[in-house]
Copies of this chain bind each other. A is one copy, B any other.
Amino acid sequence: MPRNSTTTGGRYDDDDDRVWNCGAWFEYILVVVVSSILLIAASVLTIFWTIYYRKGFNMDDPKLQFNLHPVLMIGGYITLSGFSILLYRICRCCSHLIVKLCHTFFHACSIPCIVIGFMAVWDSHNQQQIPNFYSLHSWLGMITMGLFALQFVLGFFSFLILLCCENATYKFRSTMVPIHASFGVATFMLAIATAVTGLTQKAHFELGENYSQTVEEGIIMNSIGVILTGLGIIIPFAVRRSNSPANCKVYVTERI
Contact = CB atoms under 8 A, between A and B. Distances in A.
Interface of A: 13, 15, 17, 130-131, 134-137, 139-140, 143, 182, 185-186, 189-190, 192-193, 196-197, 199-201, 203-205, 211-214, 218, 221-222, 225-226, 229, 232-233, 236-237, 240-242, 255-256
Given A139-B226, A193-B225, 9 more contacts: A131-B212, A136-B226, A137-B200, A140-B196, A140-B225, A190-B229, A196-B197, A236-B236, A241-B256
A49 B56 CA distance: 39
A136 B203 contact: yes
Given A193-B193, A197-B196, A135 B222 contact: yes
Contact of A222 (B139, B203, B236): B139
Given A15-B15, A193-B196, A197-B197, A212 B130 contact: yes
Given A197-B225, A233-B186, A214 B134 contact: yes
Contacts of A237: 182, 185-186, 256
A182 B140 CA distance: 25
A115 to B, nearest CB: 23
Contacts of A211: 134-135
